Amino acid sequence: MRYKSKYTVPFIITLFLFTGVITGCKKYLDEDNRSNYTQENYFQSADQAQAAINNLYASLRKITDGTGTYGESPFMMLEFPTGMANTEVGQSQYNNTLRTLTANADNNYFYVWWANSYNAIANANLAIERIPAIAMDDVAKKRMLGEAAFFRAFYYFHLVRMYGDVPLILKSINASSPELYPERASQASVYDAIVADLLTAEAAGLPVSDVSGKLNIGAVKSLLASVYLTMAGYPLQKKENYQKAADKASEVITSGTYRLFPAYADLRNKANKNLGEFILQNQYQVGINTSSVDQGFLPRSRKITKFSDEIGSVTPSAEFYNSYEAGDLRTKEQQYYYSSYVSVLTGQTVNFGSQYIFKFFDTEAATTAQSDLNWTFIRYPEVLLIYAEASNEAGGPVQAAYDALNLIRTRAQLPNLAGLSQTAFREAIWKEKYHELAYENKAWFDMVRTRLVYNPVTGVFDNFVGHAFPSGPVLTDKYLLFGIPSREIKNNKKLAQNPGW
């Protein structure tokens, strides 16, 4: 069921309900639209509470679902303003204007991220308000409230980094609520709310792991470490949070719950969903919900798979690919990248003539044209790198930080690092993050919080403002934030636009 106010404002109040009788990940892959439910009469039973929480898990798929007619997807918005990504789809206005740094506030990505995030936040608010009154097992209730708090924090963490000051709504609203047309809250207050929600989730009794893909304590601690690291950088520059980030990442590392996979192919093995180094993923399953991520990364129209449309939405820039260290295993054929493939249609090897992204390639989908590889939001290497960076900022290089970084380098068949100055170690960590987590929606956020950008041609870090992409566009302070969607400003006169948009 979808409840929507008659106003087109940032908060489209939504309540998708899911059946509670299907086991495993199907619980939050199937949608149950029952039009007789309202906000007022829905939260009556434990099953209904669980269905509301399942909807929050399902909301994650909107980040990787398609949002346009030319292979666009919301996650791509975060890749093109980095200069690391090109596209073979000339018709894609959303992607191309971000790649060339000519976007305006009408870019549909800005609206999709804004609306989908606030939809999820509205549902989290309802769950947090209504679940406490339900007669149900107290342990399960506490866990559900922790899950709802986590998702509210997750979406606000995206919003505050993308748009800066944003409306902070922590209760349900309707057409008569004063918050229907809200003002923007300061970034500091939004971060305070994010931390409070994550601390609630941390104390909610979540499991150590969950192979079905539901929230675990490691995901909460990992996101909290990322939040602290971000707060220590721009724009807040609360440098005391470096130690908090290091401590929280250390808790994840020393828990013994996560490990790096032995081989990069394990990242694409469906048997590893929600295991190993996967800390937080969204869930896909053929026959219920399939993913378009793999299709979007395929070389355009090379006929190597059974997909009717091989899109070529995101391709690596040659300069970034060439910036990896010599001998880095990630650059070898069919590790993170590939330059040829044996067509499942003809059995012949198709040479592409350049590198493409193999990191998300679904081998089964090449023959079925249906992909259900999960998309990963948090991977263990990110936690290792958060710990290394935060501990270095808090007190300089320590052996545990070197150990964390060198775990990643060892898998890449690169030599261990040692004996670096604080500055050199900092930049080594940043470079490793660019190369290990490439095309996983991390680089732009790091560019914004550090105000520095990795130059793949020179190998040094440039100031954000004035950094030139290899393809020519030059970053300005405009791109430190995205534009508040034009339609939101038109509908809510209390919203002011970000500079330059």
Tally of structural domains, the chain? 2
Instruction: Look at phi and psi of residue 303 and say left if phi exceeds 0, alpha if psi is from -120 to 50, else beta.
Output: left
* DSSP symbol at 288: T
Q: Which of 359, 360, 355 is nearest to 317 (CA)?
A: 355
| Residue 400 and residue 249 in contact, taking contact as beta carbons nearer than 8 Å | no
Structural domain includes residue 165 = yes
User: Residue 39's pLDDT band (boundaries 50, 70, 90)?
Assistant: low
Please give the pLDDT value at position 175.
Answer: 85
Report the Cα–Cα distance between both ends of the chain, in Å, rounded: 35
Largest CA distance in the chain: 66
Residue 225 lies in a domain: no
Residues 447-474: tens digit of each pLDDT = 999 999 999 999 999 999 999 999 999 9
What integer pLDDT is reported at residue 176 of this predicted model? Answer: 86
- Rounded to the nearest 5°, which phi and psi values hold at 461? -105, 120
Question: 424 lies in a domain?
Answer: no
How high is the pLDDT of residue 10? Answer: 37
Where does 85-238 show beta strands of DSSP type E?
Answer: 85-86
Res. 66 pLDDT band, cuts 50 70 90: confident
Q: Check whether residue 126 and residue 16 sit in a common domain.
A: yes
Q: Is the pLDDT of residue 16 over 50?
A: no
Angstrom distance (rounded) from CA 349 to CA 378: 34
- Predicted confidence band of residue 37 (pLDDT cuts 50, 70, 90): low
CA atoms lying within 13 Å on the CB side of residue 91: 8
Does 332 share its domain with 194? no
396 backbone φψ class: left, alpha, beta (φ>0; ψ -120 to 50): left
**Residue appearing with tokens 């391709």:** 315
Percent of the chain with pLDDT over 70: 92
Residue 166 belongs to some domain of the structure: yes
Summarize pLDDT for 224-277 with one digit per residue, the tens: 999 999 999 999 999 999 999 999 999 999 999 999 999 999 999 999 999 999
Indicate the pairing of strand 349-357 with strand 85-86: unpaired
Do 188 and 306 share a domain, yes or no?
Answer: no
How far is the C-alpha of 143 from the C-alpha of 136, rounded, in Å?
12
299 burial class (0-12, 13-18, 19+ CB within 10 angstroms)? buried
Residue 261: CA count within 13 A, CB half-sphere: 18
Host H or E run for residue 338: strand 337-342
Domain that holds residue 83: 1-205+480-501
Last residue of a domain, one of 327, 345, 371: 371
**221 part of a folded domain:** no
CATH number at residue 185: 1.25.40.390
Q: Both 32 and 178 in a single domain?
A: yes
Alpha helices in 298-421 (DSSP H): 318-321, 363-368, 380-395, 399-411
